[in-house]
Amino acid sequence: MPSLLSAAVRFCVPAFLGVFAVSGALAQTPMSTDNSPGWYRMHIGSFEITALSDGTLDLPVDQLFPKVDPGRIRSLLARSFLASNVSLTVNAFLVNTGTRLVLIDTGTGTSQAFGPKLGQLLANLRASGYSAEQVEEIYVTHMHTDHIGGLLRDGQPAFPKATIRADVREAGRYLSKAEMDAAPADEREDYESAMTIFKPISHRGSSSHSTEKRN
């Protein structure tokens, strides 16, 4: 009569080999490299709002607030378990009113001024189910590069059918060489960027852009 041990071996070895064979087959399946779409959708009343991520950037918070005691900044950061470089997000918002598609700001585009983790807005717009060609209006909150950089792609308007709306006071400031020359040196990049971006857009004609004065 076979021993209990030999019977157990005869049972366990085929089972183990079967598990090993299944595990080997699964290991041959490549892992997915897809990322989650960088967008989030919500409704406010009858409007559909889609938050679009342009990416992230790391900023030295302790240098952004020169009027605040550095010790207090470090204490507040430590309380939240944060280092001095804090990762911030750059976002834009797509508003579907039911009759028009309006984009609020456009991200950084191809600008490298803020590092390599940005410039994802168009990809995330497509991932959310819309295309740049569908955008009919763009509202520019202000003319810093991380808000208007995405207006151009390869030197051409990234949103070819959109009317661009901005405050006339922003245009009067950031599209003026005299204003740029009078600005501190570390702020002039935004002026140069705005002039570079709006030059080809303005050449499309007055129907493609609009400046308005806000109260």
Q: Which one is predicted more confidently, 34 or 146?
A: 146
Q: Is 180 helix (H, G, I), strand (E, B) or coil?
A: helix
pLDDT of residue 38: 93
pLDDT of residue 116: 87
Where in 19-61 does DSSP place strands (E)? Answer: 39-44, 47-60
Domain 34-212, what fold?
Metallo-beta-lactamase; Chain A (3.60.15)
In DSSP terms, 89 is beta-bridged to 56
**Which CA distances in Å does 193 have to 55, 96, 175, 177?**
19, 29, 9, 12
In DSSP terms, 47 is beta-bridged to 44
In DSSP terms, 206 is beta-bridged to none
Tens of pLDDT along 91-144? 999 999 999 999 999 999 988 878 889 999 999 999 999 999 999 999 999 999
Q: Is the pLDDT of residue 20 over 50?
A: no
Tens of pLDDT along 37-82? 799 999 999 999 999 999 998 888 877 888 899 899 999 999 999 8
Chain Cα centroid distance, residue 49:
15
Q: Which one is predicted more confidently, 53 or 200?
A: 53
- What are phi and psi for residue 52, nearest 5 degrees? -115, 125
CA separation for the pair 167, 111 (Å, rounded): 23
Residues 101 and 95 sit within 8 Å (Cβ to Cβ): yes
Residues 158 and 205 sit within 8 Å (Cβ to Cβ): no
Q: Tokens 């709006």 identify what position? A: 198
